């Protein structure tokens, strides 16, 4: 019997023309929107500057998705070209190519594995772990999973500061990291020389907007209520790929802006499918499998899911603080 993964192999053919046009157009719009936003803000035309900043943020997210494809070696026909383009656009995504590829490969390899949650893009505690944890750890996890930290403060700190030396940088190769950081410095230096502090401020605003909205994508992909988590030896890769990832049903404009990253279950099943083939692959193969599809309303509901309940096999919200205090008090009360 032909499996879904075998069926997806018909969609792995790369097209250098499409890849080149996508990359060049996205990069051109990004630069034009960023410079336009800076010039408008310098002139006090905020009604023009802020929308242009939003366009540059959207293009920054799209460049990240194209770099993501290059990291999988699935965008251009030759691996060397994928590596070159992935590194070329890295200063605009603030994402070191080698280290990100190394860490993202771990994420794919251990999708849905409760024993390797260190490879997940967004960390998840189980309900049992949370209940057994001391209060400082529970408080830290509550802060980490809060809306303010996860979507407003954390993403900017991650990309602007932590990604200057991300985890596993030594394993992935420090040369690539040093070159990447030098390219970031040259880019920011050019913005400062050309436009002064306004240029850097508008750039930082664009980055904050891009990463804060962009983080919602991997969050919803892997943090919906019925997401799959398991432990080896019962963990099956195909099941984890298809049930541990959701499809974001946000409409065709979202698909265009994010290079079809919405169709994430098939991407995890076969990362060799180029983004420009992924939507067609999903549409033509969808009669053969069931996807978890999440619309805008359900996406925002996902923000409330905080813990994985191993017994109920679903994501659950935090226990109320009152219930936590009562449970701790009951545990300290000696039995009669």
* Dihedral sign computed on CA atoms, order 29, 30, 34, 35: negative
The tens digit of pLDDT for each residue in 269-321 reads 999 999 999 999 999 999 998 889 999 999 989 999 999 999 999 999 999 87
pTM of the predicted protein model: 0.92
Contacts by residues 77-81 (CB-CB < 8 Å, ≥ 24 positions apart): 77/14, 77/16, 81/16
pLDDT of residue 186: 98
Whole-number Å distance between alpha carbons of 51 and 260: 23
Angle at which helices 16-42 and 174-214 cross, to 10°: 70
Whole-number Å distance between alpha carbons of 224 and 150: 16
The tens digit of pLDDT for each residue in 7-45 reads 999 999 999 999 999 999 999 999 999 999 999 999 999
Nearest to 64 by CA among 122, 56, 9: 56
* Dihedral sign computed on CA atoms, order 62, 63, 69, 72: negative
What is the Rg, in whole angstroms, of the alpha carbon atoms belonging to the chain?
21
Which 3 state secondary structure label does DSSP give 247? strand
- Does the structure show a pLDDT above 70 at 237? yes
Q: What is the DSSP string of 285-319?
A: HGGGS---EE-HHHHHHGGG--EEETTTTEEEPPP
What tokens were used for 19?
Answer: 């890849």
Whole-number Å distance between alpha carbons of 99 and 227: 27
What tokens were used for 26?
Answer: 């996205």
- Does the structure show a pLDDT above 60 at 229? yes
The tens digit of pLDDT for each residue in 260-283 reads 999 999 999 999 999 999 999 999
Predicted confidence band at 236 (pLDDT cuts at 50, 70, 90)? confident
What is the average pLDDT value for the chain, to the nearest integer?
A: 93
The tens digit of pLDDT for each residue in 119-160 reads 888 999 999 999 999 999 999 999 999 999 999 999 999 999
Predicted confidence band at 232 (pLDDT cuts at 50, 70, 90)? confident
248: which strand partners? 294
Which 3 state secondary structure label does DSSP give 176? helix
Decide the pairing of beta strands 314-316 and 125-126.
Answer: unpaired
Nearest to 108 by CA among 72, 54, 133, 80: 72
What tokens were used for 169?
Answer: 């940088």
- φ/ψ of 293, rounded to 5, equals -105, 130
Whole-number Å distance between alpha carbons of 71 and 328: 47
- Residue 205 CA from chain centroid, whole number: 19
pLDDT of residue 131: 95
Whole-number Å distance between alpha carbons of 115 and 88: 35
Distance set, CA 236 to CA 136, 199, 225, 228 (Å): 35, 49, 20, 10
pLDDT of residue 332: 58
Nearest to 276 by CA among 75, 90, 70: 75
The tens digit of pLDDT for each residue in 172-199 reads 999 999 999 999 999 999 999 999 999 9
126: which strand partners? 308
């Amino acid at each position: 019997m032909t499996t879904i993964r075998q069926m997806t192999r018909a969609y792995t053919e790369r097209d250098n023309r499409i890849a080149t046009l996508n990359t060049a157009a996205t990069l051109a719009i990004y630069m034009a929107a960023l410079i336009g936003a800076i010039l408008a803000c310098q002139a006090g035309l905020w009604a023009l500057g802020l929308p242009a900043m939003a366009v540059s943020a959207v293009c920054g997210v799209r460049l990240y998705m194209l770099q993501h494809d290059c990291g999988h070696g699935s965008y251009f026909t030759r691996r060397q070209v994928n590596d070159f383009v992935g590194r070329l656009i890295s200063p605009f995504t603030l994402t070191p190519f080698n280290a990100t590829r190394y860490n993202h490969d771990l994420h794919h390899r251990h999708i849905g594995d409760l024993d390797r949650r260190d490879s997940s893009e967004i960390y998840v505690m189980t309900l049992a772990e949370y209940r057994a944890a001391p209060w400082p750890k529970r408080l830290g996890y509550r802060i980490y999973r809060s809306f303010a930290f996860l979507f407003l403060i954390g993403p900017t700190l991650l990309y602007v500061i932590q990604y200057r030396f991300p985890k596993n940088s030594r394993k992935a190769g420090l040369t690539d990291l040093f070159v990447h950081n030098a390219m970031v410095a040259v880019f920011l230096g050019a913005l400062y020389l050309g436009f002064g502090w306004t240029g850097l401020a508008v750039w930082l605003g664009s980055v904050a907007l891009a990463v804060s909205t962009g983080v919602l994508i991997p969050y919803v992909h892997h943090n919906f209520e019925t997401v799959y988590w398991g432990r080896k030896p019962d963990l099956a890769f195909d099941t984890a790929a298809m049930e541990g990832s959701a499809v974001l049903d946000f409409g065709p404009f979202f698909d265009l802006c994010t290079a079809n990253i919405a169709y994430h279950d098939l991407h995890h099943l076969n990362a060799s499918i180029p983004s420009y083939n992924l939507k067609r692959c999903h549409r033509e193969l969808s009669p053969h499998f069931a996807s978890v599809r999440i619309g805008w309303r359900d996406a925002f509901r996902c923000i409330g899911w905080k813990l994985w309940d191993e017994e109920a096999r679903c994501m659950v919200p935090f226990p109320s603080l009152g219930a936590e205090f009562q449970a701790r008090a009951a545990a300290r009360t000696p039995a009669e």
